[in-house]
Structure 1
Amino acid sequence: MKILIIEDEKELVKSMTQFLRQESYVCEVAETATEAGEKILMYDYDCILLDLSLPDGNGLKVLESLKASKKTDGVIIITAKNSLEDRVAGLNLGADDYLSKPFYMPELMARVSAVIRRKRFDGNNTLTFHEITIDLMGKIVTINGKSLELTRKEYDLLLFLVSNKNRVVSKNAIAEHLSGDDAELLDKFDFIYSHMKNLKKKISEAGGMDYIKTVYGLGYKFTS
């Protein structure tokens, strides 16, 4: 899962990224409204954490731009402002939740997880595709009721494929999802081939069917 943190308080950004990365999220950061707008146009995010007070403008303008682009990224407003007007304005523009500073990181984590479940997985705590079940809360995968041991990247890859089932996902999209900004530094997709190969092998050895299909010249497709 990929998160965009739009915030200019460096210590807060450091705390948020450290905590979220420990929970297996890929985090990207934008410190200004301009930088945030560029990232939102280029990439898709599972959740955006948006501060309203940015050095070059109001965060609500970023939210307006996001919604004008018809994008469905989840948005949580994070602000020191406590006025009802700010919260109402953000929610009316399409934000999914809000959180006032200061806040505890476990609460942030709970709200991020809730928004992603609502936006990406229809509010469900589990995903099921035939014999494969993914526990979104526990980050546990089972096949025919038996636990499947996956690395963090393999889990993220499987979840990304299942949540986009019956759609072709490009190698670029997979790289961005797994590595965030670091994907731009990668000249080859060897790491994707490696994770894909290992994931397919583990599913097969656990008795699962081969649902991951290579679409030559385009990417991969998870389908029965």
Structure 2
Amino acid sequence: MKILIIEDEIELAVSISTYLSGENYICELAANFNQAMDKISLYEYNCILLDLMLPGGDGMEVLEELKRQNKQDGVIIISAKDSLDDKIKGLQIGADDYLAKPFHLSELGARVFSVIRRKQFTNANLVQQKELHINILAKTVRINDVPVILTKKEYALLLYFIGNQNRVISKNAIAEHLSGDIADMLDSHDFIYSHIKNLKKKLNDAGCGNYLKSVYGTGYKWEI
């Protein structure tokens, strides 16, 4: 799962990134308005943490641009501006949640989890597809009620494919999901083949159907 932290207080941004990285999220940072606008135009995120008071512009304009582009990224406003008007305006424009500073990182983590679960997994903690059961809260995978041990990358890939079921996912999109914006600097995306190969083998060896399909010349699709 990929998170964009739009926050100009570097110490806070790093603190949030460190905490969420420990929860197996890939985190990217934007420290000002222009960086934020560039990133939301170039990439997709599972959740965006948006400060309203940014150098160079208003965070509300970032939110408005997301909606103009019809982006489906989850958005949590994190701001010291704790006025009722700001909360109402942000939620009306399309934010999913609003958290006033200061806040506990554990609460922020819970809200990020909740937004992603609601938007991608219809608010369920347990995803069930035939013989495959995933407990999103416990981060466990079972096939025919037998545990399957996945690496962090493999687990992230599995959720990514299921969350985009029946959509063809390009290799570039997969690379960005696993590596964040540094994917643009990689010479090749060959590393994704290894993760996908290992994921498919573990699922198939455990008795899971062949739901992860290669789409020639394009990418991959999870289809049941």
Report the TM-score, using the length of structure 2 for normalisation: 0.97
1:14 aligns with 2:43: no
Would you say the 8 A contact 1:127–1:133 is kept in 2?
yes
1:96 aligns with 2:96: yes
Give the whole-Å Cα distance in 2 for the aligned partners of 1:166 and 1:61. 32
Deviation at 1:148, TM superposition (A): 0.6
Give the whole-Å Cα distance in 2 for the aligned partners of 1:95 and 1:23. 23
TM alignment of 1:100-115, pairs within 5 A: 100-115=100-115
Percent identical: 57
Deviation at 1:32, TM superposition (A): 1.1
Give the whole-Å Cα distance in 2 for the aligned partners of 1:163 and 1:83. 34
User: In the alignment, what sits opposite 2:207?
Assistant: 207
TM alignment of 1:67-216, pairs within 5 A: 67-216=67-216
Letter matched to residue 56 of structure 2: D
Structure 1 residue matching 2:124: 3-state secondary structure: coil
Deviation at 1:85, TM superposition (A): 1.2
User: In the alignment, what sits opposite 2:3?
Assistant: 3
Would you say the 8 A contact 1:170–1:220 is kept in 2?
yes
CA-to-partner distance for each residue in 1:117-168, whole Å, 9 max, x for gaps? 1111111112122111111111111101111100000000111111112221
Give the whole-Å Cα distance in 1 for the aligned partners of 2:200 and 2:92. 43
Deviation at 1:99, TM superposition (A): 0.7
Deviation at 1:204, TM superposition (A): 1.3
Deviation at 1:192, TM superposition (A): 0.5
Deviation at 1:208, TM superposition (A): 1.2
Cα-Cα RMSD: 0.9
Letter matched to residue 122 of structure 2: D
Give the whole-Å Cα distance in 1 for the aligned partners of 2:196 and 2:164. 15
Structure 1 residue matching 2:77: 3-state secondary structure: strand
Deviation at 1:113, TM superposition (A): 0.5
User: In the alignment, what sits opposite 1:56?
Assistant: 56
Give the whole-Å Cα distance in 2 for the aligned partners of 1:94 and 1:223. 30
Give the whole-Å Cα distance in 2 for the aligned partners of 1:128 and 1:116. 17
Would you say the 8 A contact 1:129–1:162 is kept in 2?
no
User: Number of residues paired by the alignment?
Assistant: 224
Report the TM-score, using the length of structure 1 for normalisation: 0.97
Give the whole-Å Cα distance in 1 for the aligned partners of 2:142 and 2:189. 28
Letter matched to residue 91 of structure 2: L
Q: Which runs of 5+ in 1 are unaligned?
A: none
CA-to-partner distance for each residue in 1:89-134, whole Å, 9 max, x for gaps? 1111111111111110000000001111111111111212211111
Q: Which runs of 5+ in 2 are unaligned?
A: none
User: In the alignment, what sits opposite 2:47?
Assistant: 47
Deviation at 1:211, TM superposition (A): 1.5
Give the whole-Å Cα distance in 1 for the aligned partners of 2:118 and 2:211. 25
CA-to-partner distance for each residue in 1:169-203, whole Å, 9 max, x for gaps? 11001001111012112111221110011111111
Give the whole-Å Cα distance in 1 for the aligned partners of 2:157 and 2:61. 33
